[in-house]
Amino acid sequence: MSLRLDATTLRLCVNPLFFKISSTHKRLGFTDRLIRFRGDPMSDRYSNLPYRPCVGVMLVNPDGLAFVGKRIDTRGQPAEGGDFWQMPQGGVDDGEDLRAAALRELWEETGVEERHVTLLAQTAEEVFYDLPDELLGKLWKGRFRGQRQHWFLARFIGEDADIHLERHDPPEFEAWQWVDPLSLPDLIVPFKKRVYRAVLDEFRDLI
């Protein structure tokens, strides 16, 4: 069973999603309403762990194409059609403003500065995902069960020459490209696919 909402909300499927529905889309706003994506039941050992606060940026150029980077830490791992690619994202520091965190992560992972972007929107919902069993206890020193994410849509107004993957030490990405946003769920690691579909659905009309 599924529920189809209007273009300003998310498409939600009853199983395997846990959700609270927001009826509005907030540009550059913040709400405490949640969209949660759950995988297979995790062991009791990890079920009480918190989610890591995180921000993500869908960076789109004037042609409506989205930035993706090829992750160095997944090099050579089999994926659907090749190595995994993802949009810039990362953790939020204690007390850090979400907008500031998004711009910081964007700069660290891509070299794109604040003057090179215009922020267009923020997801109305905070999106959660759980790590697959094989990664529980291994990432982030075993402190988190997954991530809670706020996503921003940003228009790139710079030049391709303004993108520098080596800004962060070590770099997050080894290569980058502009892609059709509709291909994003096919490029990301499997356990993040539903997150990418939700973000794409919410930002689709603004890209």
Is it the case that residue 12 has pLDDT exceeding 80? no
pLDDT in tens, 135-176: 776 667 777 778 899 999 999 999 999 999 998 888 999 999
Separation between Cα atoms, residue 99 and residue 153, nearest integer Å: 11
Averaged confidence pLDDT in the chain: 79
Where does the pLDDT of residue 73 fall: very low under 50, low under 70, confident under 90, or very high at 90 and above? low
Cα end-to-end span (Å), the chain: 29
Tokens of 128: 């959660």
Domains of the chain, first to last: 2-206 (3.90.79.10)
pLDDT in tens, 175-186: 999 999 999 999
Cis peptide before 16 (omega within 30 of 0): yes
Ramachandran class of 179: left when φ > 0, alpha when ψ lies in -120 to 50, beta otherwise: beta
Is it the case that residue 203 has pLDDT exceeding 60? yes
Is it the case that residue 198 has pLDDT exceeding 70? yes
Q: What SS3 class is residue 133?
A: helix
Q: What is the pTM of this model?
A: 0.76
Report CA Rg, the chain: 16
Where does the pLDDT of residue 113 fall: very low under 50, low under 70, confident under 90, or very high at 90 and above? very high
Q: Which residue has the tokens 């189809």?
A: 4
